């Protein structure tokens, strides 16, 4: 017994429905790939600035100095300043450079500190001015042809005027 020939109209409908199904599946795959690619792109964009921020945020290096005791300028008897400070530098290279030239740094600071009056140092504005002047003095190049140092902060850890 032979099979009855299929109706040509049914055969074309079956072919069309298979094609439609394939087109729908292909469209779904393309849509999902696009969504996945877009999500990956936006997630990678959000993570990139965090990585850059973490790389930029280096811990500062602090260089504590030995205490200084100097005579202050005074019209009313002898006045003394005992001060201890810590310098903030960007990296170990700057710290090493300052340590290697510590006699120059100490000399500059003694000259600066001993030129001050007790009255001028007792106010917050006087201390702020002193911080700026210390930063300027320490940042001066150690050699005429050398680059200046990069001290970015001066912090008093002890400050006594007598």
- Residues 119-156 have pLDDT tens digits of 888 999 999 999 999 999 999 898 888 888 889 999 99
Asked if residues 75 and 117 have their Cβ atoms less than 8 Å apart, the reply is no
Can you give the pLDDT at residue 86? 95
Q: Which two tokens stand for residue 128?
A: 């702020």
Q: Which two tokens stand for residue 55?
A: 């790389």
Percent share of the chain, pLDDT over 90: 43
d(CA 34, CA 44): 15
Q: How far apart, in Å, are the Cα atoms of 57 and each of 43, 51, 52, 153?
A: 22, 10, 9, 17
Helix (H) or strand (E) holding 61: strand 61-64
Question: Does residue 54 register a pLDDT over 80?
Answer: no
Asked if residues 113 and 119 have their Cβ atoms less than 8 Å apart, the reply is no
Query: Which neighbouring-strand residues pair with 89?
Result: 61
- The arithmetic mean of pLDDT across residues 5-19, rounded, is 65
pTM of the model: 0.62
Q: How crowded is residue 151: how many other Cβ atoms within 10 Å of its Cβ?
A: 21
Residue length of the chain: 162
Q: To which residue do tokens 């959000």 refer?
A: 46
């Amino acid at each position: 017994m032979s099979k009855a020939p299929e109706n040509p109209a049914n055969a074309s409908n079956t072919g069309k429905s298979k094609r439609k199904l394939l087109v729908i599946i292909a469209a779904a795959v393309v849509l999902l790939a696009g969504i996945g690619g877009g999500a990956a792109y936006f997630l990678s964009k959000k993570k990139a600035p965090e990585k850059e921020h973490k790389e930029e945020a280096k811990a500062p290096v602090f260089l504590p100095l030995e205490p200084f005791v100097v005579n202050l300028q005074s019209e009313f008897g002898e006045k003394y300043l005992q001060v201890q400070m810590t310098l903030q530098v960007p990296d170990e290279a700057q710290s090493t450079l300052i340590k290697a030239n510590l006699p120059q740094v100490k000399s500059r600071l003694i000259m600066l500190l001993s030129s001050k009056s007790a009255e001028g140092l007792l106010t917050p504005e006087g201390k702020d001015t002193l911080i700026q002047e210390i930063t300027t003095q320490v940042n001066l190049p150690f050699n005429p042809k050398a680059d200046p140092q990069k001290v970015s902060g001066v912090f008093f850890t002890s400050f006594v005027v007598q």
